Amino acid sequence: MTANAQPPASALTLGGFLRDRRARLPPGPGAVRRRTPGLRREEVAARACVSVTWYTWLEQGRGGPPSDEVLERLVRALELDATGREILFLLAQQRQPPIKPVAAAAVAPALQRVLDAMPTSPAMVKTATWDIVAWNAAASAVLANYAELPARDRNVLRRLFSSEIRAALPDWEADARFALAVFRLDVARMGACPEADALAAELQATSADFRRLWAQKDVRSHWVGTKRLQHPVAGPLTLETSAFAVDGADGLSMIVFTPTTPADARAIALLLSEGPQPS
């Protein structure tokens, strides 16, 4: 596109998005009757703690890309939801916004129903700091009895680098290296995150293996892979691993372990019929 070319009529621009969202917000109590709906530029600038000139430039497509801090202030000033926040960052910086850590309370009942609809596929939802915040019955039977664990221990990395978990993972070294490579990418997406920093510092202090693998600085994204388990009751299990971002829930991802053979599925079904397994 040349300097004088105009964007396609269908294209969403930063200035147009800001103007549209500004027009949707009602003036505060006692405001003088206006000919145009919404807030004035001065009012949005005051809400966002930026100068009127700078905000005007943003609506006019001038002044360069705003910082993360300014964008987050605009999110609050314009009362944007998670989708609006994502669009704002995409328009302003051509990238996804930093991930915000999500609390367990953010898991919607509909998401739990999705997990429960997979009877023989262990499935769970984790945060960007790898805390398990939802799971199904198959996950409790195959992976860990999460309901019986303290909340602090429902963390994939803490469990992965604990001594008792290694016997259940024939490919522990490869599993651990892969998990840390994905975690490093999650940390980068979050930006400044005290929770992630504290978890990494804790595991570096308590696990020589974590220190060794963390120092390799590998980075990977989630992908479809294979995980082998040695279950104390069911014996060897082979599961395909898939990861999915949870749409509309910033930072949450669903991990699904699908049995690779009918025999694996039957073994999981038998475990479920016998009740919860020891953690």
Domain spans of the chain?
14-93, 104-273
Residue 1, pLDDT score: 47
Give residue-wise pLDDT tens across range 194-213: 888 899 999 999 999 999 99
Residue 187, pLDDT score: 80
Give residue-wise pLDDT tens across range 94-148: 888 877 665 555 678 899 999 999 999 999 999 888 999 999 999 999 999 999 9
CATH architecture of 14-93: Orthogonal Bundle (1.10)
Find the angle CA(240)-CA(244)-CA(250) to the nearest 5 degrees: 150
C-beta of residue 98 within 8 angstroms of C-beta of residue 88 = no
Q: Say what the pTM is.
A: 0.70
Query: For the chain, where are the alpha helices, taking DSSP H only?
Result: 14-24, 41-48, 52-60, 68-77, 82-93, 109-116, 137-142, 156-160, 172-190, 194-206, 208-214, 262-273
CATH of 104-273, one of 3.40.50.720, 3.30.450.180, 3.90.226.10, 3.90.1580.10: 3.30.450.180
Measured CA to CA, the distance from residue 72 to residue 66 in angstroms comes to 10
C-beta of residue 57 within 8 angstroms of C-beta of residue 50 = no
